[in-house]
Amino acid sequence: MSYLIKGETCDWEVVIGLEVHCQVISESKLFSGASTLFGGEPNTHVSVVDAAMPGMLPVINEECVRQAIRTGLGLKAKINKTSVFARKNYFYADLPQGYQISQADKPIVGAGTLTLDMPDGTSRDVGIERLHLEQDAGKSMHDQDPKRSFIDLNRCGVALMEVVSDPDMRSPEEAGAFVRKMRSIVRYLGTCDGNMDQGSMRCDVNVSVRPVGSDELRTRAETKNVNSVRFIMQVIEFEAKRQVGVYDNGGQVVQETRLFDSKKIETRSMRSKENAHDYRYFPDPDLLPLIFTDELIEELKAELPELPDDRKNRYVGDFGLSPYDAGVLVAEKDTATYFEAVAEGRDQKLAANWVINNLFGVLSDRSLSITESPITAGHLGELLDLISDDTISNKIAKDVFEVMLETGEAPAKIVEDRGLKQITDTGAIEAAVDAAIAAGPNQVEQYKGGNEKILGWFVGQVMKATQGKANPGQVNKLLKEKLDG
């Protein structure tokens, strides 16, 4: 799905690589026992290690390492059996050590693959270059005082997994699909909560452009810490057009780090982009190399849950759902869990139709997540049972659904209390059919003259007379028998 930009001299294509920072789900930080809970008062979740007090040494958090391996396995990536932490030297006011403990040439996870699910139902693979563990910096706050900046170290030392993609994406839509899929996988795995609004998942966006047909990789600009899928796509659109403008005017794009202004929807230069040698990486002398056995890797692999792609394939192969519908249902783990509870022992296609076409629309209108649904999976399943056993028609089911949304009551109770049971008594339906035929001699003539569409008029009359309760299948059958007789 290429995204072409019309330039003055030629058409250009965009080349995109992403660095996704995922905060590891763990109770304590990567190298200290301080809490990782979000939302604490400033500087209340800080240990002497996080604050870089003299003589304090880091101690690796085993659970963070296991979480990184699980994520690598979920990305179908190579797990490197020897991994080394390195010091990445640079100065930020909210980085007490004066360096960040990260990984350079020996990360925990090597090359892997992530499959994108595009809106048109197609899919394509994007390469993963690596996943490495590193510690987060603190937070600088510049809006608390007109003359001073304040530092909150609560986040300092929290474990991050940085997932680096290959420059394989060619449109804002593909980049958006990459981040959504990445978020889905880590949520399924339970390795990151994916909450971009809280900063526990954020993205550095690398963009370059080149003439269509060229295979060169030109100078890229990196936009840091973008925290929503929509903003990521806007960054790419702006940067692609900005860079094409630079080339069309005879200039050269410089390698730099940029920031995104979400109000103006534009990027602006922050600093020149450092190269790896500028950080003076060297192995951290306080941390031993990590060495993983095959047994550990196999143990973690055996613990993995069913991941989105596998679940999607099962829905397509076993349930007969379309790839698009299956992709929608597996995008979020909670949605898939809800759907499976509705579909268990029932027609899966009918269940998918009601979840996607009826429930999702309501949740979207009310800005609710699936876990906040006013209709439980059990109640929606019971509604489908009432349709399947002919207790109510599809039309009445939609009315019952609306009542369920407002009251939260069980569908069977609503049907009973409101007298909505479908009429299946042949005698009662036949009487209504006879009345409809008798009331429409002109329509009878049209039907007998070959206008079979007029049958819908008779069905409407019968349904009106029975307040929508007559079984539609029986109505159609009786009408045809009598009009053809």
Q: Are residues 308 and 274 in the same domain?
A: no
Q: Please provide the size of the chain in residues.
A: 485
Give the range of the structural domain holding residue 119, as residue numbers without chain letter: 4-299
Rounded to an integer, the average pLDDT of 194-212 is 94
Of 151, 158, 154, 104, give the one whose Cα is nearest residue 136.
Answer: 158
DSSP state of 355: I
In this prediction, residue 39 has a pLDDT band, given cuts at 50, 70 and 90, of confident
Of 306, 309, 301, 220, give the one whose Cα is nearest residue 267.
Answer: 220
Q: Are residues 61 and 188 in the same domain?
A: yes
Identify the domain boundary among 368, 399, 417: 417
Q: Are residues 42 and 62 in the same domain?
A: yes
Does position 306 have pLDDT exceeding 70, yes or no? yes
Neighbours of 273 (CB within 10 A): 16
Rounded-to-integer distance, Cα 400 and Cα 393, Å = 10
Q: Both tokens of residue 470? A: 């007559």
Identify the domain boundary among 361, 392, 417: 417
Identify the domain boundary among 272, 299, 326: 299
- End-to-end CA distance of the chain: give it in Å, rounded: 57
Q: Both tokens of residue 214? A: 């060229």
Q: Are residues 143 and 9 in the same domain?
A: yes
Phi, psi of 211 (to 5 degrees): -60, 145
- Contacts with 197 (C-beta within 8 Å, 6 or more apart), sequence order: 227, 228
Q: Are residues 329 and 212 in the same domain?
A: no
Q: Are residues 16 and 151 in the same domain?
A: yes
pLDDT tens digits, one per residue of 111-144: 999 999 888 778 899 999 999 999 999 998 888 8
Rounded to an integer, the average pLDDT of 211-235 is 94
In this prediction, residue 13 has a pLDDT band, given cuts at 50, 70 and 90, of very high
pTM recorded for the entire structure: 0.85
Pairing status of strand 123-135 against strand 159-165: antiparallel
Indicate the average pLDDT of the chain: 90
Query: What whole-number percentage of the chain has pLDDT above 90?
Result: 72
Q: Are residues 90 and 51 in the same domain?
A: yes
- Domains of the chain: total: 3
Pairing status of strand 256-261 against strand 221-226: parallel
- The H or E element that residue 223 is part of is strand 221-226
Q: Are residues 274 and 227 in the same domain?
A: yes
Q: Are residues 284 and 312 in the same domain?
A: no
Q: What count of Cα atoms within 13 Å lies in the side-chain half-sphere of residue 317?
A: 6
Rounded to an integer, the average pLDDT of 225-234 is 96
Cα–Cα distances in angstroms (integers) from residue 6 to residues 112, 119, 249, in the given order? 33, 24, 14
pLDDT tens digits, one per residue of 308-337: 999 999 999 999 999 999 999 999 999 999
Q: Are residues 292 and 389 in the same domain?
A: no
Q: Are residues 187 and 204 in the same domain?
A: yes
Which is more confident, 473 or 290?
A: 290
Q: Are residues 215 and 334 in the same domain?
A: no
